[in-house]
Structure 1
Amino acid sequence: MSHLNYIDLFGFSAALLTTIAFLPQLYKTWETKSADDVSLVMLILFITGLICWIIYGLKIHSIPILVANIVTFIFNFMILILKLSYNKKNNK
């Protein structure tokens, strides 16, 4: 990608919006110390899909796809870790 064009701006806009959409869930999970309302199966499926998007983004050399999906992966992986750790604490 030699220069940024308007199509890339749509890509970055989509990346920004879909990535920050997970911040409220991450914040709520952190604050309430509970992730009971978050489906474990959904998280695993979503994280697997993000890994596929990251591989795809690498193969087509798409910065918007890579940035969005790497950051979203980090957010969702954090939610997964919190869910598993809070479930352990609640089961003791």
Structure 2
Amino acid sequence: METDDIIGAVAGCLSTAAFLPQAWQIWKSRSARDVSWAMYAVLIAGVGLWIVYGLRRGALPLVLTNGVILVLALVILAMKRRFGD
């Protein structure tokens, strides 16, 4: 594995893992009051564009990483809706 591939893999793992503490905190506290709808809307739009870019470039790691981020972001928004503001 080349250095660039290792850097990309670590970056993808860290970017994806960054959402896990937020999701866990919401689930544990049953509160999503401080989660911003606007921030997640912008994030989802950006992640969606990264997926399109990755598909167009044939970059499967980019597509997979952003796909997981998209799912986690949608789960967080679903919990925000469920647990209310």
**What TM-score comes out, normalization by structure 2 length?**
0.92
Q: Is the aligned partner of 1:40 residue 2:37? A: yes
Judge conservation of contact 1:15–1:67 (CA < 8 Å) in 2.
no
Q: Unpaired runs of 5+ in structure 2?
A: none
Equivalence map 1:62-77=2 (5 Å): 62-77=59-74
The Cα of 1:84 is off from its aligned counterpart by 1.0
Judge conservation of contact 1:34–1:86 (CA < 8 Å) in 2.
yes
Q: Unpaired runs of 5+ in structure 1?
A: none
Q: How many residues align?
A: 85
Q: Deviations over 1:25-83 (max 9, x none)?
A: 00001111111111011011101111111111111111221121011111111001110
Partner secondary structure for residue 81 of structure 1: helix
**4+ residue runs over 3 A deviation:** none
Larger CA Rg, structure 1 vs 2: 1
Give 1:22's aligned residue: 19
